C-alpha cells in the first residue's frame, strides 16, 4: 500500500486518538463505541480514569475542522 508522507494530501488517514493529537482534519469519523464503553465500564472509584477517557473523547471530537461524524449503529 502506498503511503502519503504529507497528511494534508492523503485521501484518508486511519489513526488512533493518540496519533491524531495536535492534528486537524477536514472530516473525522468516530466509531459508535469510541470512549463511551470505556466510560461505562470505568472504575467509578477511580475518578482519574473518567478524566482520562473524557480527555480522549475531547481530543477525538476536536480534530475535525468542518465535519464530525459519529457512527451510531
> What are 47-57's pLDDT values in tens digits?
787 788 888 88
CA distance 25 to 63: 6
- Confidence band of 62 (pLDDT split at 50, 70, 90): very high
* 35 within 8 A of 56, measured Cβ to Cβ: yes
Residue 59's Cβ-count burial label (10 Å; 0-12, 13-18, 19+) is middle
> What are 1-13's pLDDT values in tens digits?
567 778 878 888 8
C-alpha cell belonging to residue 24: 486537524
Whether 70 shows a pLDDT value over 80: the answer reads yes
- pLDDT number for residue 53: 81
The angle formed by the CA atoms of residues 14, 56 and 7, to the nearest 5 degrees, is 30
Mean pLDDT of the chain, nearest integer: 82
Amino acid at each position: 500500500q502506498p503511503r502519503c508522507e504529507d497528511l494534508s494530501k492523503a485521501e484518508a488517514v486511519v489513526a488512533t486518538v493518540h496519533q491524531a493529537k495536535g492534528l486537524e482534519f477536514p472530516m473525522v469519523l468516530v466509531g459508535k463505541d469510541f470512549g463511551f464503553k470505556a466510560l461505562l465500564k470505568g472504575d467509578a472509584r477511580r475518578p482519574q480514569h473518567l478524566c482520562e477517557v473524557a480527555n480522549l473523547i475531547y481530543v477525538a471530537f476536536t480534530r475535525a475542522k468542518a465535519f464530525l461524524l459519529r457512527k451510531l449503529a
